[in-house]
């Protein structure tokens, strides 16, 4: 669970029910109850909201994003390519503020957003799927 703290996520722009009214806004994970699938996302000074993992989008790793960019350069619009490349470079820099800004900039293009992200529920499945298959509790036995 600790590896999720501080991870930038975006509330899915097409979320149909959003009591926190943060649809399409980037925040950071401040707490998570993985057993209950409840993620607390902080939005700077604005507020915080509770979401299920499938309502949040997480960035692909910088390595995956960079390789996908190189493999798909011909299929991307020029503006999307530039924004995605900027995001990849900011991920490489390690600056959380720049990554959040570049992540937020992707919200203007559904294609770029789909290219650079995956639902947090998929990320958690990738990270915790083997533990679950072995009957271990989430966050235990690592």
Q: Shortest CA distance to 103 belongs to which of 5, 8, 6, 7?
A: 8
Residues 51, 41: contact at Cβ < 8 Å?
yes
pLDDT, tens digit, for every residue of 91-112?
Answer: 888 788 888 888 888 888 899 9
Q: What is the pTM of this model?
A: 0.82
In the chain, where are the structural domains located? 2-133
Alpha-carbon distance of 61 to 77, in angstroms, equals 21
Give the chain's mean pLDDT.
Answer: 85
Q: What is the mean pLDDT of residues 21-45?
A: 91
Residues 105, 43: contact at Cβ < 8 Å?
no
Helical (H) or strand (E) element with 127: helix 120-133
Q: How do 48-51 and 38-42 pair as beta strands?
A: antiparallel
Portion of the chain with pLDDT greater than 90, in percent: 41
């Amino acid at each position: 669970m600790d590896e999720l703290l501080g991870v930038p996520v975006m509330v899915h722009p097409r979320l149909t029910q959003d009591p926190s009214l943060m649809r399409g806004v980037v925040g950071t994970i401040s707490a998570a109850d993985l057993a209950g699938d409840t993620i607390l996302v902080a939005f700077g000074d604005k507020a915080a909201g509770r979401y299920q993992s499938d309502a949040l989008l997480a960035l692909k790793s910088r390595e995956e994003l960079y390789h996908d960019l190189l493999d798909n350069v011909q299929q991307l619009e020029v503006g999307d390519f530039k924004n995605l490349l900027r995001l990849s470079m900011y991920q490489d820099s390690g600056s959380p503020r720049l990554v959040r800004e570049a992540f937020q900039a992707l919200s203007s293009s559904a294609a770029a957003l789909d290219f650079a992200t995956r639902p947090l529920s998929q990320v958690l499945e990738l990270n915790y799927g083997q533990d679950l298959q072995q009957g271990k509790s989430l966050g235990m036995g690592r």
